Amino acid sequence: MTGLAPHLSDESLTAIAVERTGSVTTPKGFRAAGLAVGIKASGNPDLALVVNDGPLQDAAAVFTSNRIFAAPVQWSRDASADGVLKAVVLNSGGANACTGKDGLADSAKTAVQVASGLDCAVGDVAVCSTGLIGVRLPMEALLSGVDQAVGQLSPQGGPNAAQAIMTTDTVRKMASYTSPDGWSIGGIAKGAGMLAPALATMLVVLTTDADVKPLALDTALKQATSVSFDRVDSDGCQSTNDSVILMSSGASGYAPDPREFATALAAVCRDLGLQLLADAEGAAHDIAITVKGAASLDDALEVARSIARNNLFKCAIFGNDPNWGRVLAAAGTTKAAFEVENLDVFFNGVGVYRQGAIGEDRSLVDLSARQVEVVMDLHHGAHQATVWTNDLTYDYVKENAEYSS
Amino acid sequence: MTGLAPHLSDESLTAIAVERTGSVTTPKGFRAAGLAVGIKASGNPDLALVVNDGPLQDAAAVFTSNRIFAAPVQWSRDASADGVLKAVVLNSGGANACTGKDGLADSAKTAVQVASGLDCAVGDVAVCSTGLIGVRLPMEALLSGVDQAVGQLSPQGGPNAAQAIMTTDTVRKMASYTSPDGWSIGGIAKGAGMLAPALATMLVVLTTDADVKPLALDTALKQATSVSFDRVDSDGCQSTNDSVILMSSGASGYAPDPREFATALAAVCRDLGLQLLADAEGAAHDIAITVKGAASLDDALEVARSIARNNLFKCAIFGNDPNWGRVLAAAGTTKAAFEVENLDVFFNGVGVYRQGAIGEDRSLVDLSARQVEVVMDLHHGAHQATVWTNDLTYDYVKENAEYSS
């Protein structure tokens, strides 16, 4: 990969008007529920169900690439492999990861209960879990909870579903886009920043009532995640449970141009990704790292990720320190094409390092706001990419030191 | 690389008796000095000189692989390329990095001053610097300091040299090995843990009076760094100034077996590496991560490094939390050969995860001591490797947030 299709460029995506009031029930043909069934000791909502009433039941999904993956990931990968899903059931309060064959059986039993309640095939039910690793789920509460959820399904249930998948999240995450042509995309997400995955999971459910061919659905989802969730970078830690599931009902009766659909889906995903970032509990800054002038998209991404994963750089941002030496040192560990004497580094628009030499006075940089923009220009080509991350803070350490998996 | 020569195995290295009282002047044929010349505002010692009086003047060196490297690295790489060095001059209080052509000229002037004082070729003088990036060195103080250092050279000067290269270090680092056959190896090092390179540099000078052929010297140094400094892992951040320089005087008149020499050199380097780790100011734990049962040495190292670089794991250790889920999740991101259902994980000897399932009670693990041992058995081969790291703490963040490069 050396380039990005124009319909996925930063310009194309920012032109899409994404709203944060809509959710998975914004598109026609979907019902959802979210409620407390006793999985969490706190009594907070812990079970969500999203159902596609059709007429189409096309689906696509992407999962964690971690080789150590949870039982629900194994189940849902199989269930979605044929591109057909009727429903997704999600629980917080337990990840059902590293639980062996018994854990896989628990995911299967959950799907069976949903299929029974909806009168559909068990292989058309995806299962997602988030919470503690290495602990079995309270199946009695979960299964009777599934029946309750089926009873509470509603075309207005999306926000409740968004609420029920929260763990360390302080706010629920929802996003939607409605086309002037009458079709829409909606989504809910769970995750307290990729940077502080204390409960180690990002779960996303997306819905649409556009009439999109299964192959185009799959392509659009892969493209969308590549420019959204994959770019909300952190320490590169991928969890055991990460899942992104997209279902299409076709209920709008409108078949948009595949590229138009892909652009809108990517914009919704990027908005959800930035909501995850903004809710990273331990973080004091949201950092956008843009590498431009790269010989290829891969080069731009490699340099941006290298900076985003550099702990020294992330600590410096926490200290409001425009430490360009650390940006350079991170870039220097990559194989990207550039000449050292041509590099520029900008912090919030101030060129602190220009053409390979000390640039404007670093005291001109104000890093007191939460949003920080770091730009590195390699002056070696026409490609660019942005990666988002958070700073490394006392609270990040505290949250992840005191959390026990 | 799939295996390690037997003379570099953990067993071979731990059999070598390394002392921490000797230094670069323990081997015969070396003089050194360390003193305050006014580079540091604090008035602390900031200039060191190590001179090889021969009869041999063989040398080998390894430098940072970061593409953004400091002027002294560029200078010393050239100076050592022919395998001959008469002296190494080192300053703290300024890294002379990202300082452009003027900075390179400063390194050259420093070498010229040393060569003039010692009456040797300027191309036989290596230069090392550590301190702030992006700031020029106070050359007047430095050059007159060189003359003072030449005047203070002494066969007992090693400890002073070790003192003068400290930056955020709380203790000076020295190590030596003396063979029953009458030859010895000595070393000094600078670095407050690889984990907290607030001044972003590890400098090491090694000396020996063994009669070792230049090629064997080079091979031994590369092998030694590969099993010592390269395994003191952290965030993978390599600095702009890292340098390890080895000089041989041959003054003992004894030519040891090359493998015997390489083993002793590796043991001295490993001891210095562990001293760097123990002095990581922000750290509360020193963590040894051993991966065994690997199909190759590369597999063992890939998994061990992946664990060592995982921020969530490092926060958990700070919180005295034997979080095996994070160890597994880190291993799951690698390409190493293993089957998930065969994995074992031990924290300080307690098998918290056995044969792919929850093992002994995690409450049996006591992580209150500074030394922590994590072992992962892949059960897929006969290779093993250990990587050392520190935990991620409030103080690490503090030190690196408040430091300004």
> Position of tokens 């959390």?
A403
Inter-chain CB proximity A401 and B134 less than 8 Å: no
pLDDT tens sequence across B346-375: 999 999 999 988 899 989 999 999 999 999
Answer for the pair B70, B134: CB distance below 8 angstroms, yes or no: no
Cα atoms in the 13 Å half-sphere on the side-chain side of A333: 19
Return the higher-pLDDT residue of A396 and A287: A287
Question: By C-alpha distance, which of B302, B271, B298, B274 is closest to B288?
Answer: B274
Taking CA atoms, what residue in B is nearest to A70?
Answer: B329
pLDDT at B199: 35
User: Residues 295 to 334 of B: which have CB under 8 A from any A CB?
Assistant: 309-312, 315-316, 318-319, 321, 323-326, 328-334
Inter-chain CB proximity B311 and A310 less than 8 Å: no
pLDDT at A233 over 60: yes
Whether residue A290 is annotated as binding a ligand: the answer is no
pLDDT tens sequence across A151-165: 999 999 999 999 999
pLDDT at A237 over 70: no
Which uninterrupted H or E stretch holds A316?
helix A311-318
Burial class (CB in 10 A: 0-12, 13-18, 19+), B356: middle
pLDDT at A1 over 60: no
Range list of β-strands (E), B25-97: 30-35, 47-52, 58-63, 87-91
Q: Which of B99, B168, B178, B201 is an active site residue?
A: B201
Low-confidence ranges of chain B (pLDDT < 70): 1-4, 192-200, 233-238, 281, 402-405
Using a CB–CB cutoff of 8 Å, tell me whether A43 touches chain B.
no
Answer for the pair A65, A226: CB distance below 8 angstroms, yes or no: no
Rounded to whole angstroms, the Cα distance separating B254 from B341 reads 53
Using a CB–CB cutoff of 8 Å, tell me whether A41 touches chain B.
no
> Position of tokens 């958070």?
A390
pLDDT at A397: 80
Segment A21-44 shows an average pLDDT of: 97
Taking CA atoms, what residue in B is nearest to A326?
Answer: B405
Return the higher-pLDDT residue of A147 and A284: A147
B201 assigned to active site: yes
Residue type, A24: V
pLDDT at B46: 97
Segment A207-236 shows an average pLDDT of: 88
pLDDT tens sequence across B83-105: 999 999 999 999 998 888 899 99
Dihedral, CA atoms, A209, A213, A214, A215, nearest 10 degrees?
A: -140
CA distances from B363 to A132, A134, B312 (A): 16, 14, 19
pLDDT at A195: 42
Segment A250-258 shows an average pLDDT of: 97
Rounded to whole angstroms, the Cα distance separating A150 from A172 reads 21
The sheet that has B371-377: what strands, in order across it? B357-358, B350-354, B344-347, B371-377, B286-294, B383-390
**Helices (runs of H) and strands (runs of E) counted in chain A:** 11, 15
When pLDDT is cut at 50, 70 and 90, the band that residue A199 belongs to is: very low
Domains and CATH numbers, chain B: 6-278 (3.60.70.12), 286-402 (3.10.20.340)
User: Residues 340 to 399 of B: which have CB under 8 A from any A CB?
Assistant: 340, 353, 356-358, 392-394, 396-399
When pLDDT is cut at 50, 70 and 90, the band that residue A142 belongs to is: very high
> Position of tokens 């992962």?
B376
Pairing of strands A173-178, A184-190: antiparallel
Segment A269-293 shows an average pLDDT of: 90
pLDDT at B401: 73
**DSSP-derived 3-state class of residue B213:** coil
Inter-chain CB proximity A332 and B392 less than 8 Å: no
Using a CB–CB cutoff of 8 Å, tell me whether A337 touches chain B.
no
Q: What is the ipTM of this complex?
A: 0.80
Question: How would you classify residue B98: left for phi > 0, otherwise alpha for psi between -120 and 50, otherwise beta?
Answer: left
Question: By C-alpha distance, which of B105, B190, B118 is closest to B147?
Answer: B118
Residues in chain B with CB shorter than 8 Å from the CB of A239 are: 329
DSSP assigned state of B201: -
Using a CB–CB cutoff of 8 Å, tell me whether B337 touches chain A.
no
Cα atoms in the 13 Å half-sphere on the side-chain side of A359: 22
Distance of CA A153 to the CA centre of its chain: 25
Taking CA atoms, what residue in A is nearest to B133?
Answer: A325
R_g of chain B computed on alpha carbons: 21
Residues in chain A with CB shorter than 8 Å from the CB of B398 are: 394
Dihedral sign of CA atoms B254, B255, B260, B262 in order: positive
Which of B240, B315, B323 has the CB atom closest to A329's CB atom? B240
Rounded to whole angstroms, the Cα distance separating B15 from B18 reads 9
pLDDT at A74 over 70: yes
Residues in chain B with CB shorter than 8 Å from the CB of A396 are: 311, 315, 397
pLDDT at A403: 58
Question: By C-alpha distance, which of A348, A191, A269 is closest to A18?
Answer: A269
Whether residue B292 is annotated as binding a ligand: the answer is no
